[in-house]
Amino acid sequence: MARGASSASSTVLVALPDSVRAAELARALGAEHLMPVMAFTTTALTDFAADPNVTAVVVDPAVGSPPGTTPGMAALIGRVRAVTAAPIVLLGFVPGNGWGRIGEEIDGLLGADASAADVVGTVLTAVARRGGAADEVVGWTDLVVDLRNYEAWQGARRLVLTPTELRVLGGLVAAGGDVVTKQDLHKAAWGTPGVHDDNRLQAHVRRLRKKLADPDSERACRIRTVRGVGFRLEPAGALS
């Protein structure tokens, strides 16, 4: 399954009944430097989940089932959890009978219409939580970033951010105004400090700057570039 040590550490098992959606999610995972492995039956799901290189599992309740039917999800999730400690993200499942048991075993729940970007963001956050890589909620001045629930606030104003933008902002907010290196921001955003694409990171920072601009807030922060090093947050009224 693994292509090498670096790829093996970022393997995501994807179990979806729709091959088109699975391919879309595979592309989104690849863009985040994660290696997708596909499973289209429950047997393949539980077999592949036992591989120690799997760092997250994404599963749709209809995988391996005839159209219009849903297998016993509590039993299926239980079988997956029995062979792996990796985070499990469940798609398109409506909580009902047996939810208490399922809810204890999974690390993320998304609707059937969740975008590939939202799925990837949930996977990265779940992996970070399991590894204790980041605080779930961080704040500085008027900014609060909730990495568990994927929400960000600037004072009373909710920020509309993509999952990657939220993780980049979370890395900056956690530093409390100190400089964050590009390498550390890559790790916060994608969990891969050894893979660098400065243009890509700069594009996310540029969009964040526009979204943080708030003329009505006296405490509004801006993202300052520290040339050759990285970025830091500072109050809009701070002296350069």
| Percent above pLDDT 90 for the chain | 26
Dihedral-angle region of residue 89 (phi above 0 means left; psi in -120 to 50 means alpha; beta otherwise): beta
pLDDT at 1: 39
| 83-106 residue pLDDT tens | 988 889 988 766 555 555 676 678
Measured CA to CA in angstroms, residue 21 lies from 15, 38, 54, 114 at distances of: 11, 11, 20, 11
Q: Tell me the domain boundaries of the chain.
A: 5-130, 137-235
Residue 7 pLDDT exceeds 50: no
Q: Give 152's contacts (C-beta < 8 A, 6+ positions apart).
A: 143, 144, 145, 146, 158, 159, 161, 166, 169, 170
Residue 190 pLDDT exceeds 80: no
Could you tell me what percentage of the chain is helix, strand and coil, using 3-state DSSP and rounding each to the nearest 5? 40, 20, 40
Looking at domain 137-235, which CATH architecture does it have? Orthogonal Bundle (1.10)
Phi, psi of 219 (to 5 degrees): -105, 10
Question: What's the average model confidence in pLDDT over 107-125?
Answer: 82
pLDDT at 178: 94
| 135-151 residue pLDDT tens | 678 888 889 998 777 78
pLDDT at 3: 30
DSSP 92: S
Does 238 or 150 have the greater pLDDT score?
A: 150
Residue 50 pLDDT exceeds 60: yes
Strands 157-158, 151-154: pairing is antiparallel
Q: Hey, what CATH topology would domain 5-130 get?
A: Rossmann fold (3.40.50)
Question: Count of CB atoms within 10 A of residue 154's CB?
Answer: 20
CB < 8 Å & 24+ apart, contacts of 167-173: 167/121, 167/124, 167/125, 168/201, 168/204, 168/205, 168/208, 169/143, 169/145, 169/208, 170/134, 170/138, 170/145, 172/223, 172/231, 172/232, 172/233, 173/138, 173/139, 173/140, 173/143, 173/144, 173/145, 173/233
The model's confidence at residue 230, banded by pLDDT at 50, 70 and 90, is very high
| 137-188 residue pLDDT tens | 888 888 999 877 778 888 888 898 877 788 899 999 999 999 999 988 887 8
Question: What's the average model confidence in pLDDT over 104-125?
Answer: 81
Residue 219 pLDDT exceeds 80: no
Residue 72 pLDDT exceeds 90: no
